[in-house]
Homo-oligomer: A and B are copies of this chain.
Amino acid sequence: MPEYKAPLRDMKFVMDELLDMQTHYQSLGADECTEDMVDAILSEGAKFCENVLAPLNRVGDEEGCTWSEDGVKTPTGFKEAYQQYVEGGWPSMTCDPEYGGQGLPASIGIAVSEMVGSSNWAWGMYPGLSHGAVDTVEMHGTEEQKQTYLTKLISGEWTGTMCLTEPHCGSDLGLLKTKAEPNADGSYNITGTKIFISAGEHDMAENIIHICLARLPDAPKGTKGISLFIVPKMLPNEDGSVGERNAVACGSIEHKMGIHGNSTCVMNFDGAKGWLIGPENKGLNCMFTFMNFARIGTALQGSSAMESSFQGALTYAKDRLAMRSLSGPKAPEKAADPIIVHPDVRRMLLTIKSLGEGGRALAYLTAKQADIVKSPNSSEEAKKEADELLGFLTPIAKAFLTEVGFECTSHGMQVYGGHGFIAEWGMEQLMRDVRISMMYEGTTGIQALDLLGRKVLMTQGEALKRFTKIVHKFCKENEGNEAIAQFVAPLAEHNKEWGDLTMKIGMAAMKNRDEVGASSVDYLMYSGYVCLAYLWAEMAKVAQEKLDAGTEEEAFYKAKLQTAKFYFDRILPRTRAHAVTMLSGAENLMDMEEENFAFL
């Protein structure tokens, strides 16, 4: 099993040196977030992840969760780790101080979540899902609902879930059938079956608060007739203590490819008591308000997995001996050279490294926008701008980072050769765990439609321009900077091409709406590679400046420049394929008759 070591140096590089979070925290009015304070949080988080969560990662995979009539048992150690997490005050870190939260910026939470995710993603989903429930109640709950539920969710005493998916519908929630019938006392009886409910039932907390989508009796059809309900597993007493059992139960848990440590439940609501949260029939809108944030959380699964995979692969590549370097022995005293001398092994390692570090930068940049959106200190203009940037970057971060995250866990396995296939090494678990991230919280296809259809084309390209302007400004400012010209020039070309491609797709889409879906995933991947190119150019600039100024950490900054070079040389050219493919038209997809796909 690869040992996890939190990459604090690189996290701090992104936070302090690339994104200047210190200035950012001051502008949010978060004066308590001094560098020392943030460092202390990250160090404490690192210890917890390295020492408590990481050792449970394989346990969780091997044992999985077990269902019985009495409930779901989580793997050995999961419950105790959660207790420690609660005692450490981690659940409340970024939550509203009025209800017991610590009110820290979301971006600090994201940094901690990355470490949790790298060390044990399946475990991290329990508090992760709670966070979704917290956001919903915080934004849409009544004061009474907040008093009853929010305090306990924020403290971590209770956990929460998001009950959206049903057996026949996931991406298309307009089809959902779960019904909510009003009672005389203002509550509702919720009846229906929900599936894929992460952390739907478990033994970590005394109560579980389900945020459940359902239809009122007279609701309009489709997505405009969906309302949101709070459905607690145990009905709370007046004094806030846990009372009677509600009529909601886990029918079974799914057998899945990965994230075995997380209980993925079929939840049966049999006239369970629930309370409306937010306005009637506006449930989906309420969900959308925090979906961007939930999706950054999923994007993190991609970058977290890249970090773990990289650490595992690097260790092995330095240890394992096989063959001699083609350019002459590098470890003549040994029976063979360590495989890190071989160019193709380095290609795999650097692919993971460049996408992983670039991915971290993208996730944190996105979280920075979320900070601004959420802060009462932000001006309306700053909020609007950050919100639009957040909306643009989120589908890219979610889909691109999970796609390349999956790819990179495969490279990590490949470095091990046949051993990568063997469970003991832990590399194959990383791949099985991360594979879901391309599907839940909106598949890559859904994210791509959100990006190209809703965010870019529906704004006549404004959302894209907001970002390309930032890139353009960077390129202009660094036009004469010879040291990083090798990055700035191709970045500027891509930045221009991005707009051109968008224009062409927009024109084609006016004639045929299928052109959007036909080009969307290529467009999204292209966008992801350009976003990372921008971030690598920025990182290269920072590194070059440090080197020019003289630094004790020369090796660190030199490695940043080398990784940037690798990214531009060997990863960015993938845009050449996507640029051609996205313009190839919808006909090559749509012309084939349904019955002619196979002749069996």
CB within 8 Å of B: which residues of A?
A: 5-7, 9-10, 165, 168-172, 174-175, 196, 254-258, 310-311, 314, 318, 321-323, 325-327, 335-336, 340, 342-347, 349-350, 353, 406, 410, 413-414, 417-418, 420-424, 428, 431-432, 435-436, 438-440, 443-445, 448-449, 512-514, 516-518, 520-521, 555-556, 558-559, 562-563, 565-566, 569-570, 573-577, 580-581, 584-586, 588-600
Does the CB pair A439–B420 fall under 8 Å? yes
Closest 4 CB pairs of A and B: A343-B517, A576-B576, A257-B428, A573-B580
Bound-state Cα–Cα, A347 to B519, Å: 10
Docked CA distance A558–B555 (Å): 59
Report B-chain residues with C-beta under 8 Å of the C-beta of A311: 598, 600
Once A326-B517, A581-B570, A592-B350 are accepted as A-B contacts, the answer to whether A586 and B414 lie under 8 Å apart by CB is no
Report A319 CB to chain B, min CB distance, Å: 11
Q: Are B588 and A580 in contact (CB under 8 A)?
A: no
Is B597 touching A172 in the complex (CB atoms < 8 A)? no
**Cβ-neighbour of A172 out of B9, B254, B322, B596 (below 8 A):** B322
Q: Compute how far the CA of A440 lies from the CA of B520 in the bound complex, rounded to whole angstroms.
A: 36
Instruction: Specify which of B168, B342, B345, B556 is in contact with A599 (CB 8 Å cutoff).
Output: B556
- Return chain B residues, CB-CB under 8 Å to A418: 165, 170, 196, 436, 439-440
**A326:B513 contact, CB within 8 angstroms:** yes
| Distance between A324 CB and nearest chain B CB, rounded to angstroms | 9
CB pair A255–B438 under 8 Å, yes or no, is no
Residue of B172, B175, B343 touching A586 (CB-CB under 8 A): B343
Given A342-B445, A344-B521, A521-B347, are A325 and B556 neighbors across the interface (CB < 8 Å)? no
Task: Judge whether A423 and B345 touch: CB under 8 Å.
Answer: no
- The chain B residue with its CB closest to the CB of A413 is B435
- Are A336 and B175 interface neighbours, CB within 8 A? yes
Contact A421 B445 (CB under 8 A): no
Contact between chains at B428 and A435 (CB < 8 Å): yes
Residues on the B chain within 8 Å of A255, using CB = 422-424
* From B165, B344, B520, contact of A445 by CB (8 A): B344
- Identify whether the interface residues of A are mostly helix, strand, loop, or mixed: helix
Tell me, rounded to whole Å, the shortest Cβ–Cβ distance linking A559 to chain B: 4
**Nearest B residue (CB) for A338:** B594
| Residues of B contacting A595 in the complex (Cβ-Cβ under 8 angstroms) | 555
Distance, CA A349 to CA B342, complexed state (A): 36
A322:B171 contact, CB within 8 angstroms: yes
Q: Which residues of B contact A343 (CB under 8 A)?
A: 514, 516-518, 520, 586, 589-590
Are B600 and A588 in touch, CB under 8 angstroms? no
In the complex, are the beta carbons of B598 and A254 less than 8 A apart? no
Contacts of A575 in B (CB 8 A): 577
- Beta-carbon contact of B424 and A438 below 8 Å: no
Contact status B340-A594, CB under 8 Å: yes
8 sample A-B contacts, Cβ–Cβ < 8 Å, listed by A number? A7-B598, A165-B418, A255-B423, A343-B516, A344-B518, A346-B592, A418-B439, A555-B593
Question: Judging by beta carbons under 8 Å apart, are B576 and A562 in contact?
Answer: no
**Contact call A417/B439, Cβ cutoff below 8 A:** yes
- Bound-complex Cα distance A340 to B514 (A): 13
Distance of A428 from chain B, by nearest CB (Å): 4
Cβ contact of A322, chosen from B6, B169, B321, B589, cutoff 8 A: B169
The residues of B that contact A175 with a CB separation of less than 8 Å are 321-322, 335-336
**What is the bound-complex CA distance between A588 and B318, given in angstroms?**
19
In the complex, are the beta carbons of A445 and B559 less than 8 A apart?
no
Beyond known contacts A343-B518, A406-B410: 13 more, CB 8 A cutoff: A170-B322, A171-B322, A257-B422, A318-B594, A326-B514, A346-B592, A418-B436, A428-B435, A559-B599, A562-B588, A573-B576, A574-B577, A576-B577
Q: How far is the CA of A439 from the CA of B563 in the complex (A)?
A: 26
The residue of chain B having its C-beta at the shortest distance from the C-beta of A558 within the complex is B596
A318 to B592, CA, bound (A): 14
Docked Cα-Cα span, A343 to B512, in Å, equals: 12
Chain B residue at minimal CB-CB distance from A555? B596
Contacts of A591 in B (CB 8 A): 562
A580 to B432, CA, bound (A): 31
Closest to A519 in B: B343
In angstroms, Cα B512 to Cα A419, docked, is 30
Complex CA–CA separation, A136 to B24 (angstroms): 69
